[in-house]
Amino acid sequence: MASLGIPSNTIEVLQKYNFNFQKKFGQNFLIEPRVLERIIGAAEITKDDMALEIGPGIGTMTQYLCEQARKVVAVEIDQNLIPILEDTLKEYDNITIINQDILKLDLMELVTRENEGKPVKVVANLPYYITTPIVMGLLEKHVPIASITIMVQKEVADRMQTGPGSKDYGALSLAVQYYAKPEIVANVPPNCFIPRPKVGSAVIRLSLYEKPPVEVKDESMMFRFIRASFNQRRKTLQNGISNDPTLPYGKEDVKEALLAMGKSETVRGETFTLEDFASFTNFLLK
Ligand code: SAM
């Protein structure tokens, strides 16, 4: 395998094709083989697996995935990268490249078609400008996925993994932790990419649950409560929810549910665990 992860090989490919980085697509290509090996190791891809790669760039990580997986599907938005990928991946017959915006793709249909609906392993060095919509799209649409191993901005990885009491705790933490067990695998400094991003990065692995860790009567209502209580940080949960014009619950309803849970009516959303939000929802919808 011609490892593109070595800086000189990446530069050679970029020069050969006179490639211009597009900032709007969040293009920061990995040039550190040890980081690539960490990501591939954490993803635990075997010859039984289909790997779905989001944003293959010039195919650096894709080469590793093609070696490990039975099948790889890579979705890349930038059409200028397609001829490059066809070149760098020409020795593999287990790769399908799709020139599309990942946010516009019907992933359920893709996984059903390409992997008979069996869970796939998602691996990516994500474009940072759309990390949250990509991850939430994968989780909320219930696409069959076993795990998601991704490079993201360090701060976003922290938000996904943290719990109550941290300044990073919020709606993203709760949404991710409802669907998956998060684990930060590595911190990655800017000099592992070309061009260098302005922020630090981290690799995080999300192992999806077969069944969520809490039981809730109405999942989407719980997430509306979560968003309402974090929209108004430093406000009480009671105010956050009763001030939200889209939610049909007043102060008295919220107070009753909180007291039934044995909580104070002045409690703040940022102290609530996922279990608390689930039982709050169940009490309120009783
Ligand atoms: N995987 C490569 C690597 O590690 O070197 C490239 C990673 S780079 C951070 C992100 C990649 O995602 C770029 O190739 C970019 O063109 C692509 N991309 C950006 N927005 C996308 C979208 N909406 N759908 C699919 N790919 C996208």
Average pLDDT over residues 193-221: 96
In this predicted structure, the answer to whether residue 218 has a pLDDT above a threshold of 70 is: yes
Answer yes or no: are the C-beta atoms of 133 and 104 closer than 8 Å. no
Q: What does pTM read for this prediction? A: 0.95
Is residue 263 located within the same domain as residue 204? Answer: no
Pocket test for ligand 1, best of 3, 9, 11, 27 (most atoms within 8 A of CB): 27
The answer to whether the CB of 29 is under 6 A from ligand 1 is yes
In this predicted structure, the answer to whether residue 205 has a pLDDT above a threshold of 60 is: yes
Under DSSP, the state recorded for 189 is: -
Q: Which of 208, 240, 264 is the last residue of a domain?
A: 208
In this predicted structure, the answer to whether residue 1 has a pLDDT above a threshold of 60 is: no
HSE-up of residue 242 (Cα within 13 Å, Cβ side) = 16
How much is the pLDDT for 4?
A: 87
In this predicted structure, the answer to whether residue 233 has a pLDDT above a threshold of 90 is: no
Is residue 143 located within the same domain as residue 270? Answer: no
Q: How far is the CA of 55 from the centre of ligand 1 (A)?
A: 3
For the chain, the first-to-last Cα distance in angstroms comes to 59
Task: Name the residue with the closest Cα to ligand 1, atom 1.
Answer: 56
Task: Name the residue with the closest Cα to ligand 1, atom 22.
Answer: 101
Q: How far is the CA of 158 from the centre of ligand 1 (A)?
A: 21
Non-local (6+) Cβ contacts of 150 within 8 A are: 122, 123, 124, 125, 126, 131, 135, 203, 204, 206
Q: What is the pLDDT of residues 2-47, one digit of tens each?
A: 578 889 999 999 999 999 999 999 999 999 999 999 999 999 999 9
How much is the pLDDT for 2?
A: 55
Percent residues over pLDDT 90 in the chain: 94
The answer to whether the CB of 55 is under 6 A from ligand 1 is yes
Non-local (6+) Cβ contacts of 277 within 8 A are: 174, 216, 222, 225, 226
The answer to whether the CB of 5 is under 6 A from ligand 1 is no
Average pLDDT over residues 191-199: 96
CA dihedral 195, 197, 203, 209 (to 10 degrees): -110
The answer to whether the CB of 147 is under 6 A from ligand 1 is no
Is residue 136 located within the same domain as residue 271? Answer: no
Residue count (the chain): 286
Answer yes or no: are the C-beta atoms of 213 and 239 closer than 8 Å. no
Q: What is the pLDDT of residues 81-92, one digit of tens each?
A: 999 999 999 999
- How far is it, in rounded angstroms, from Cα 254 to Cα 166? 24
The answer to whether the CB of 103 is under 6 A from ligand 1 is yes
Is residue 82 located within the same domain as residue 135? Answer: yes
Pocket test for ligand 1, best of 77, 88, 150, 196 (most atoms within 8 A of CB): 77
Say how many domains are in the chain. Answer: 2
Is residue 164 located within the same domain as residue 194? Answer: yes
Q: Is the dihedral of CA 230, 246, 138, 208 positive or negative?
A: positive
Mean pLDDT of the chain: 95
| Cis status, amide bond into 195, omega within 30 of 0 | yes
Tell me the DSSP string of 208-223.
Answer: E-SS-SS--S-HHHHH
**Among residues 140, 72, 79, which one has the least CA distance to residue 108?**
140
Strands 29-30 and 95-99: unpaired
How much is the pLDDT for 71?
A: 98
Q: Which of 146, 173, 208 is the last residue of a domain?
A: 208
Is residue 201 located within the same domain as residue 253? Answer: no
Strands 145-153 and 201-208: antiparallel
Range of the domain at 254: 219-285
Helix H or strand E segment including 60: helix 60-68
Residue 254: CATH number of its domain: 1.10.8.100
Q: How far is the CA of 166 from the centre of ligand 1 (A)?
A: 30
In this predicted structure, the answer to whether residue 151 has a pLDDT above a threshold of 60 is: yes
Q: How far is the CA of 118 from the centre of ligand 1 (A)?
A: 25
Grouping H, G, I as helix, E, B as strand and the rest as coil, residue 1 is: coil
How much is the pLDDT for 234?
A: 77
Is residue 178 located within the same domain as residue 83? Answer: yes
Is residue 270 located within the same domain as residue 167? Answer: no
Is residue 225 located within the same domain as residue 177? Answer: no
Grouping H, G, I as helix, E, B as strand and the rest as coil, residue 196 is: coil
Is residue 105 located within the same domain as residue 182? Answer: yes
Is residue 225 located within the same domain as residue 161? Answer: no
Is 23 within a domain?
A: yes
Average pLDDT over residues 133-160: 96
- How far is it, in rounded angstroms, from Cα 50 to Cα 72? 6
In this predicted structure, the answer to whether residue 260 has a pLDDT above a threshold of 60 is: yes
In this predicted structure, the answer to whether residue 284 has a pLDDT above a threshold of 70 is: yes
Residue 15: CATH number of its domain: 3.40.50.150
